[in-house]
A and B are shown apart, each in its own frame.
Chain A
């Protein structure tokens, strides 16, 4: 029994440590002058349904379940883009985030990383890697895979 409790506590502490490490990674990106960062708070996310007007999308049902959105972008600066790439690769290798899928199209590759708790995403990262730019979109909250799918209805999904 004692061993089990010790194991659970150790696992919990390791998990917290890993999450802290991920936060440090994003803070490092935010501190980089060549990376433009946009933080969208819960208060602003709650206003999305009021602004929503585009037909064929249902952003409100997902935005209601989000706590925060972070967007990190870098264009043209190869050195910074490489830093972002290596940071994302290290995140992919970490056990906290699960690599969900990679989509490759021409010179663009899109990676999805997710951190789940009880079948619900708590953190989802989309990392778009292009020739001369790199974009990381991080959404935090409590949502399912179905919530993400429902935003863009299949009939209106005209991806490039």
Chain B
């Protein structure tokens, strides 16, 4: 049985990758026992894990499956990037369009809110003249119609009186 000092030397060689298969077998045997030096307990956990891992059987087709999976990832990653870029372009376009429409309506609202800002003083005066002209026409037109209505009433009243007079005359 190897001493603790010898095992330490073997461990150092193992970590350097310079141990032979026989030396590694010695290390396995040493760490499989329970009665080992206290300062090698930590090394026991590490090396037992390493040695047990070597015992795990890897399926023969695992490598080919992994390679196939990696190839598939390489192929599908490109369209994903393009799809993402396309989506980004469309989002930017939609945002720009919305912004332009917003600006248009904002300015349009401002123009309609303040029509006088876009007109010259002459145009404003012309509009005022047009307003005055329309009001004057309407007033005079209504007045004329009022007088016409009054005249019609007067005529109707006169006709009534005339009819009465004729009736009275006929009765006599």
Contact = CB atoms under 8 A, between A and B. Distances in A.
A25 interface: no
B142 A152 contact: yes
A129 interface: no
B115 A50 contact: yes
Which of B126, B134, B139, B142: most chain A CB closer than 10 A? Answer: B134
Interface in A114-160: 124, 126, 128, 137, 139, 145, 148-152, 154, 157, 159
A14 interface: no
Interface stretch (B4-12, B60-68, B143-151, B161-169): B143-151
Contacts of B141: 112, 126, 145, 148-149
Contact of A137 (B116, B124, B126, B133): B133
A126 B131 contact: no
A10 interface: no
Contacts of A100: 144
Which of A48, A57, A103: most chain B CB closer than 10 A? Answer: A103
Contacts of A152: 135, 138-139, 142
Contact of A103 (B115, B134, B144): B144
A102 to B, nearest CB: 8
The 7 closest A-B pairs by CB, nearest first: A151-B138, A101-B144, A40-B130, A152-B138, A50-B115, A103-B144, A137-B133
27 contacts: A38-B126, A40-B127, A44-B126, A47-B115, A48-B131, A51-B124, A54-B131, A57-B138, A69-B133, A102-B144, A103-B140, A103-B143, A103-B147, A112-B140, A112-B144, A126-B141, A137-B136, A137-B137, A149-B138, A149-B141, A149-B145, A151-B138, A152-B135, A152-B138, A157-B142, A159-B142, A159-B143
